[in-house]
Structure 1
């Protein structure tokens, strides 16, 4: 390998996906994800089962990533891993493996904030020819987080708005569960919404000050709405599934963009990105492009493979930390509630 080549192994284990990626000079060589099907019958992630599955998956996933990249482990320049936020038991598995592997190879390791990784996924070299210019605003939307982040540099990020209670992704999944859809339900709501009328049913939107969000009231409203309608017609959900999904999804997306537009105007930002698992939502992606044209934004949408949790985004964050010499020490510990 050339001395100028920086090759990073990224490890992501914050929730229920075990992932490893190899990145060379900002370009992904491999990005392997092992999903955990065990949680489907429980309707959500069971932390203890997740950590056990990570223990089973971590070695084969890393080995596969190295093989698919066509490199040897001795070619690695450093190892990046998710320190948090996430499920503590899951984070422990990834952190422990990274520390042991880095010590064995005698190479540095970089601790990555999971949410910063989602944002920095926009800087992975690939099909996209353009990248956001600093400063820009990134709306990160996932099962556990909903944030508006002002990004001034690779590691100079400020949360200027966030949910006061539930995340948008959780609001999707909880509504899907109420309607009897299997876990994870967010993508299914997106699927059924495509053939529905987004204005058929009206759900309330929160009126939280500044750039913050709230989705707990919306979750409660759809629960009461469906309970009321099911008393009158026990086939109501089945007969109106597409319209319910479309109307509920429309309300969430409308709430998100109301605050995003307000934040961009206040901070005079014209480069706007989305990130996180919910950024795979088709309406969120199309609305960003539509509103972006109206507002005069340059918009940035990650490839589908970098929307949900993956090690590619951890590797690119680790790459920039490596270049700046931001190395972690062996006494580092995972942090389930890690802040920016």
Structure 2
């Protein structure tokens, strides 16, 4: 079935803004700027970046309110409201709190990992989400996996292994520390466990509420933003050294230093702003694609986003073309498509059906010819 103009728009927005989000975050990470102590260093503030991400999500609530007021003043009925704001408005806001906390933990952990590894690896390793989502779906939602889903998981595991090996091998030819790359990759994979928990929670408690996409993103942003804003205070006083983080006094996070770096370098400011703006549109588009088209379409679009990020990383000189990594990505892609029953299995079933139909027709034709040959001539 062909996409409508609105669905095509959502798909394009998801791919473009999703790619920009990762690239903008990595751009900020790679940029140098003087901090509050006057020392010029890379922008290494994953928790402030997570705060910015939640601010972007929170802005969706403002967008919802503006659109809702606009359409209701024009006397639109509930059925006439656009898909972005239509839906249940009498729901418990608290159901978004737990998924938002999972999102907070996963996102901040992934941003730490992104700071340590490559942008394309970051995106590819997020494919491990399939493994943990499957496990939690079986354990908590009592689902039974189909054989092709197990096969998909096997491909994903193989692909992840190859991508990880590729990162370790390529570390010898890059300026990145091998230990940091490994830590970054592991953190990204661990974050997917939390993201899988978030998805299970959303499926169990949130999806049944039938809330509009803008409100889903907005309320998760609200709970995530307020929680992270509070956590930044104790993080400023907890000192862990500069093994992974690079704050003036070795804190877990130094929001004041982050502000100075954003203020002192337009590249950091643009990268940070790009993260905030792009995440709002990306999450809205992602939720809308799932609601308007299907979750499998969202998987395909996410795969396209990974390709875009890899191409952009190479074009910008951040990464090099790596045949081993591309091989791992190919296995990841096959695994994701198999698990979500996209393209590969449907194409196989269609081809097999056509062959069976052809064989049946040929058999029918042969039987007919045999009947004509053996049928006695009536005198």
TM-score between both structures, scaled by the size of structure 1: 0.29
Larger Rg: 2
More strand by share: 1
More helix by share: 2
TM-score between both structures, scaled by the size of structure 2: 0.26
